[in-house]
Structure 1
Amino acid sequence: MIKRLLPSPLLTLTVSGFWLLLVGNVGPAALLMAALLGICMPLFAARLDREFARIGSLRRLPKMIVVVGYDIVRSNIEVALRILGPESAIKPGFIWVPLDIRNIHGIAALTSIITLTPGTVSAELSPDRDYLLVHCFHVEDPDAVIAEIKQRYEKPLMEIFP
């Protein structure tokens, strides 16, 4: 009976605690609302179809962190130079990147990395998760951009998120 009412006691405490922190008050009304949210939200969350993260090998993670950090710095410089230069030096565009990675958490990490890198933004994931739409600040060769994303980010992420 208790397990049905409170499927995740830790989530119940977390939601209730965050509510109290958010309102900055521990009066009767705030406590009642915290209790209601703490009970109701985990009940709804338990009904969601969740895909749990599977973690594979983390040996590529340190190198990947360095690569992403380097790419962020390099892209900042490239974007700044293009903005300060002539407008004709900017060729924005959208490209569809075919995905080999299937793990939704790996795809989420890939979209985050792309969006963190200046000059690129993840715009849309196809419903079948086969393609990722990426907007690029400057695209001369779409195939080269796709190859770079797949080699520098997707391939290591496929080892981390099998």
Structure 2
Amino acid sequence: MIRRLLPHPALSVLLLVFWMLLVNELSFGALFLALVFAVLIPLITSRYWPDRPRIRFGPDLMAYLAIVLFDIVVANFHVAWIILTRRNRDLRSRWLVVPIELRSAEAITVLAGTISLTPGTVSSDVSADGRALLVHALDVADPEAEVARIKQRYEARLLKVFR
């Protein structure tokens, strides 16, 4: 019964939380409307998600989010330092091809989004077979080490989160 009412529980929780954040008011009306949206939107859209990914909510996801937030803060300072102390000709910008083991489109999207959220790197494209991600990095001394860092720091953790 609950599975039919909430076909995508994680999406329902996400919709509820984001609605309450957008409204920026804790009232019965706002909470009621958030609950209506959190139930109806997944019900209406569930037929478009036949193969929804299985996500493990727990320590692995929390660790991934903590690492991403930490990396975003550190990268902001690193990029600011590069901009303030170097000239354009001193930058070692590179295109990196990151081979990926992730197979679900949602997991690959999360990886690409994580890379793009981190200042100094932008994911640009996914290969047609879905086995490589093209990434532009602002300043890279060792391209192979940067690819290994992306795989170890982000992809390995996402493999645990998306089963």
**TM-score class, shorter:** 0.5 to 0.7
Percent identity, aligned pairs only, is: 37
Once the 2 structures are TM-superposed, how far is the Cα of residue 58 of structure 1 from its aligned partner? 3.1
TM-score normalised to the size of structure 2?
0.66
Once the 2 structures are TM-superposed, how far is the Cα of residue 54 of structure 1 from its aligned partner? 1.8
Counting only pairs closer than 5 Å after superposition, residues 74-93 of structure 1 correspond to structure 2 as 74-87=74-87, 88-93=89-94
What are the ranges of 5 or more consecutive residues in structure 1 without an aligned counterpart?
A: 1-41
Q: How far apart are the structure 1 equivalents of 2:128 and 2:57?
A: 28
What is residue 4 of structure 2 aligned with on the other side? none
What is residue 136 of structure 1 aligned with on the other side? 137
What are the ranges of 5 or more consecutive residues in structure 2 without an aligned counterpart?
A: 1-43
Is the 1:57–1:159 Cα contact (8 Å) retained in structure 2? no
Q: How far apart are the structure 2 equivalents of 1:52 and 1:146?
A: 28
What is residue 161 of structure 2 aligned with on the other side? 160
Counting only pairs closer than 5 Å after superposition, residues 59-78 of structure 1 correspond to structure 2 as 59-78=59-78
TM-score normalised to the size of structure 1?
0.67
Once the 2 structures are TM-superposed, how far is the Cα of residue 116 of structure 1 from its aligned partner? 0.3
Q: Deviations over 1:105-135 (max 9, x none)?
A: 1111101100000000010000100000000
Superposition CA RMSD, Å: 2.1
Counting only pairs closer than 5 Å after superposition, residues 19-58 of structure 1 correspond to structure 2 as 51-56=51-56, 58=58
Q: How far apart are the structure 1 equivalents of 2:93 and 2:124?
A: 14
One-letter identity of the residue aligned with 1:72: I
What is residue 22 of structure 2 aligned with on the other side? none
Describe the SS at the equivalent of 1:60.
helix
Task: Detail structure 1 runs of 4+ shifted over 3 Å in the superposition.
Answer: 48-51
Once the 2 structures are TM-superposed, how far is the Cα of residue 93 of structure 1 from its aligned partner? 1.3
Q: Larger Rg: 1 or 2?
A: 1
Number of equivalenced pairs: 119
Is the 1:79–1:119 Cα contact (8 Å) retained in structure 2? yes
